[in-house]
Structures are given as structure tokens and as C-alpha cells.
């Protein structure tokens, strides 16, 4: 998986697709800072996810951004996405590979070196760690720190993604400590101070 240092953002969808989202998404992707866009929708029917996913995929393709589906390899296959992100309670990496083949498969490793090493054995595409900072996007029991990013780099070249409460005040610290990509959601989509385009422009 290629790493473009300028395109260091792994953007995650808002929990709710509001009016104006698709326009905002195009504006945000136009900044050329986003490598991946993950569709993470918990409270939508399968049919609705397919409709939304097709629209997002079209925008991502036009902007040369990899379109990733969260949690669901079957939906990733249905949408012919660029890949799938798995949590620890989702289908296994090997099960996902059977469904979507040689596409991007990333996995949440929380704050665990052991989970990372298990994922590496299954030839995962990237390792996601977090939460690094408090976040309102989802409830999380796990807290990761800078030390784990440096530790992982000692035994693998697989790209790492830092997640959780990342904003323009704290993002540089993670990049300086070997995180290849920063997973960001609420700072972009639910920012009370800045619109999505303004928010992403602050990440330089």
C-alpha cells in the first residue's frame, strides 16, 4: 500500500448523512489531503447503505481516493469498494479475503501489540490504533499512546493509522511519531466552529 505523505488523512463518514454531505465531501476531497474514505454507517438499512455507498464511491473514484467499507465484507463486495475495515468482533481477515479478494483490508488493533502481530500474520493492509484522544464519535474502552506507534515500527513496515479525537491542535504530534495516516471524523463533520472545508484546511 503506497504512502503519500501529503495525503495523510483517512477520512471516516459522519454517523448521519445529512443534506449537503455529498457537496461537502467533494470540497473536502478536492484539497488532495485524503487517501482513504471509510463509510461507517451504523443506523441505516442495508438498502440505504448501498444507495449511499454508490454515491460516495463515485465521488471517491473521481477524486482518486480509496473507498473503504466499515465492518461488512459482504457490503464491500456488493459495492465493489477498494477494501474493508474490520473491528475485532467482525468477520476475520481470512473470511474477508475470501469475499473481497486481494483488496485493502485494515483492522483495529486498539492499543495491543499482540493484536497487531496476529493481524500481520494474516497479511493485513494496515493497522489501526486508538483511541489516542477523547472522542465523541464512538464509545471506546481502549486508549493508545505514542509509544505503541514507535514500537510497531520496530517490527513491521505495514502502514499504521491513528484514530480517536484527532484535530488541528494535536495531529502533528502523531505524524511526527510515525503514524502514516490519521483517521478523522467528528473534527471534519461535526465541528461547531468550522465547516468541513475550513476544518480540513487547518491540517497542513
Domain ranges of the chain: 9-201
Domain 9-201 - what CATH class? alpha beta
Query: What pLDDT, on a 0 to 100 scale, did the predictor assign at position 24?
Result: 98
Cα–Cα distance measured from residue 190 to residue 149, given in angstroms and rounded to the nearest whole number: 27
Query: What pLDDT, on a 0 to 100 scale, did the predictor assign at position 5?
Result: 72
Tell me if residue 184 falls in helix, strand or coil: strand
Residue 51, all three cell numbers:
444507495
Tens of pLDDT along the chain (204 residues) come to 777 778 999 999 999 999 899 999 999 999 999 999 999 998 999 999 999 999 999 999 999 999 999 999 999 999 999 999 999 999 899 999 999 999 999 999 999 999 999 999 999 999 999 999 987 666 667 788 899 999 999 999 999 999 999 999 999 999 988 899 999 999 999 999 999 999 999 998
Query: Of 112, 107, 110, 92, which Cα lies nearest the Cα of 158?
Result: 107
Residue 180, all three cell numbers:
502514516
Cα–Cα distance measured from residue 65 to residue 56, given in angstroms and rounded to the nearest whole number: 10
Q: Work out the burial of residue 89: count CB atoms within 10 Å of its CB; fewer than 13 is exposed, 13-18 middle, 19 or more buried.
A: exposed
Query: What pLDDT, on a 0 to 100 scale, did the predictor assign at position 136?
Result: 67
Query: What pLDDT, on a 0 to 100 scale, did the predictor assign at position 142?
Result: 75
* Measured CA angle at 22 (ends 16, 27), to 5 deg: 120
Amino acid at each position: 500500500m503506497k504512502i503519500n505523505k501529503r495525503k495523510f488523512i483517512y477520512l471516516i463518514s459522519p454517523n448521519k448523512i445529512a443534506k449537503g454531505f455529498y457537496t461537502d465531501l467533494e470540497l473536502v476531497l478536492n484539497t488532495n489531503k485524503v487517501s482513504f474514505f471509510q463509510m461507517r454507517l451504523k443506523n441505516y438499512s442495508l438498502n440505504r447503505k448501498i444507495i449511499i455507498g454508490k454515491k460516495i464511491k463515485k465521488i471517491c473514484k473521481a477524486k482518486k481516493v480509496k473507498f473503504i467499507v466499515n465492518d461488512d465484507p459482504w457490503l464491500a463486495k456488493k459495492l465493489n469498494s477498494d477494501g474493508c475495515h474490520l473491528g475485532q468482533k467482525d468477520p476475520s481477515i481470512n473470511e474477508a479475503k475470501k469475499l473481497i479478494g486481494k483488496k485493502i483490508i485494515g483492522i483495529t488493533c486498539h492499543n495491543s501489540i499482540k493484536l497487531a502481530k496476529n493481524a500481520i500474520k494474516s497479511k493485513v493492509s494496515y493497522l489501526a490504533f486508538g483511541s489516542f484522544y477523547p472522542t465523541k464519535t464512538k464509545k471506546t474502552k481502549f486508549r493508545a499512546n505514542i509509544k505503541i506507534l514507535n514500537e510497531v515500527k520496530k517490527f513491521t513496515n505495514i502502514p499504521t493509522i491513528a484514530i480517536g479525537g484527532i484535530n488541528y491542535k494535536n495531529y502533528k504530534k502523531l505524524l511526527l511519531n510515525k503514524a502514516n495516516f490519521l483517521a478523522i471524523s467528528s473534527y471534519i463533520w461535526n465541528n461547531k466552529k468550522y465547516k468541513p472545508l475550513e476544518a480540513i484546511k487547518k491540517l497542513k
